Amino acid sequence: MKISDLIKIGLRNLKRRKARTTLTVMGVVIGTISIVVMISIGIGMKKNYTQQVMEYGSLTSINVSSTGGYVDDKGNYVSVKADPMNDALVEQIRALPHVKSVVPIILTNIFLYSGKYENNIQLYVIDSSYITGMDFPGLTAGSLPSPTDYRVIVFGSDSLSNFYNPNSRNYSAKQVDITKEKISVGFNPYQYQMDEKKKPLRVKVEQYGFLQKSNNFEFDYNAYMDINYFRYLYNKYVNTLKTTERKKALTAVANYTNLKVTVDNFKNVEDVQSAIDKMGYQTDSLAKLMKPMLSTANMLQIVLGAIGAISMLVSAINIANTMIMSIYERTKEIGIMKVLGCLVRDVKKLFLFEAAMIGLIGGIIGIILSYITSWAINKFGGPLFQALMSANYMYNPENSKFSIIPLWLPLIAAGLAIMVGVVSGYYPASRATKISAIEAMKTEG
C-alpha cells in the first residue's frame, strides 16, 4: 500500500466516524492543555523567584561580615564577632577554589545636602583597583573612580530620590538632579560629639558617577567611594570632633566591615560559603536564600506535571478504547483489505496512522488552547496567585508572568501527544492484524 493511499484511507476513516473521533481528540486536547499549562505555571513561578531574588543582588555573590549572630535552640539571639577583616583575610579567601574576585568594603553612612534638603544613604567604601569586581551597571552620567582619579562619588539611580527638609513638619520626598543641582556630602553629625569651635564637614561633590537603573537594590539605593578619597575626607571629618571622640571614630573604620566575594558559578556558591563559614565569619548569599525557594518550585512543577500526565494517561486509554471499538466495527473491512492483497504490516500501519493522527490533531489544538489559557492566567490570575503566595514575602505578583511557555514545551507536548496516540493504538493495530480474512468475510456489516 502506498503512503498516499494509507493517508487517504486513514483520514477518510477518521472523518467517517466524526463523533467518536471528535470525542477522542478532545481527550488528547485536555491532556495536552493540562501538561503544557501546568508545567508553564511551574516554569513561571521559578523564573519569578529567580528574577525577584536577583533584584536584591547577584546570585554568584557572597557577603562576608565580621559580626553577626544566630538564634539558638531556646530562641535567643547569640551575637558572634570574628577576627577583624584585613588584607591577609582578603588574600586567604581569594585563594579558595572557584573564587573569582574579593572586594574589601567599609560600610558606613553619609549625609547628602542640597540647599535646605538633606538625605542619609549607605556608603560602600572600596579600593578603586577592585572596581571591576563590583559588576556595576552602566553609567548615565559622570565616571567611575580609578586609581589615578579617585575623587569620585558614585550614586545609585534611586539614591538621590529621598531628600527631605528637616525643618518642615510635613515629610515630602524630593528628587535631586545631580547634573543640575549642587550636592555636598558630610558624615553622620549625630554619632560623635562635634567640636563647637569647628564647622561640621561638608564637601561639595565635584566629580561623580550616576548609575543606570538596574533593579538591584544594592546598586540602585547606595553610594560608592574610593577608599583613599574616603580616608582623606574622613580624616577631615575626624578633625571636627572633640578630642575624646576621635579615637572611637578612627577605630570604627580601621578595618573592613564586609567583603564581597564573587564566585565563578552559581552552583559553587554553597561550597565557597561553607569554607568561609569555617573561618568564623558570617556569610549570606542570595543563592542560599533561593535554594529552598527553587526546591519548592521544582517540587510544585513536578506535582503540576504529574497532574497533566494523569490527564494524558486518561486520553491514552480513551484512544485505545476507540481503536478497539473501531476494529470490531471494521472487521469485514479488514478482511476485504487482506483478500485484496494488503500486507499485514499495511493493516497495522493504517491503524497506527489513525491513532497518531488523533494524537497529532489533539496535540495541535491543545497547544493553541494552551497559549490562550496561559494568556488568560497572566491577564486575570494575579489575585489568585497573590493569595496563594502571600506567605512568601519576596513574591511580588505585579508585572509577573505566572505562566511561561518556552519554545521547547509545545514541541515536547506535540511529540508526546503523537507518541501517546501511537502507543495507545499499537495493541489495537496488532489485534487487527491477527483477524482471519476468511472469518472477517463471514462477518455481517
Pick the closest to residue 266 from 28, 58, 18 (CA basis): 58
- Quick check: 119 and 163 in contact, CB under 8 A? yes
Q: Per the structure block, which three cell numbers stand in for 401? A: 508572568
Pairwise CA distance, residues 230 & 218, whole Å: 19
- 153-155 and 208-211 as β-strands: parallel, antiparallel, unpaired? parallel
- Write out the chain's pLDDT in tens, 445 residues: 677 766 777 777 777 777 777 888 888 888 888 888 888 888 887 777 776 665 555 778 888 887 655 555 666 655 666 678 888 888 999 999 999 888 899 999 999 999 899 999 999 999 888 887 788 888 999 999 988 899 999 999 999 998 999 888 887 888 888 888 899 999 887 888 888 888 888 999 999 999 999 878 888 999 999 999 999 999 999 999 998 899 999 988 888 988 989 898 888 888 898 888 888 888 888 777 677 777 777 787 788 778 777 877 887 787 777 777 776 666 666 666 666 666 667 777 777 888 888 888 888 999 999 999 889 888 887 666 665 554 454 445 555 677 888 888 888 888 888 888 888 777 766 766 666 655 555 555 5
Instruction: Give the global pTM.
Output: 0.59
* Half-sphere exposure (Cβ direction) of 263: Cα atoms closer than 13 Å: 25
For 139-148, the CB contacts below 8 A with 24+ separation are: 139/209, 139/210, 139/211, 139/212, 140/210, 140/211, 140/212, 141/178, 141/179, 141/208, 141/209, 141/210, 142/207, 142/208, 142/209, 142/210, 143/207, 143/209, 144/209, 145/209, 145/224, 145/225, 145/226, 145/229
H runs (alpha helix) in 86-139 = 87-94
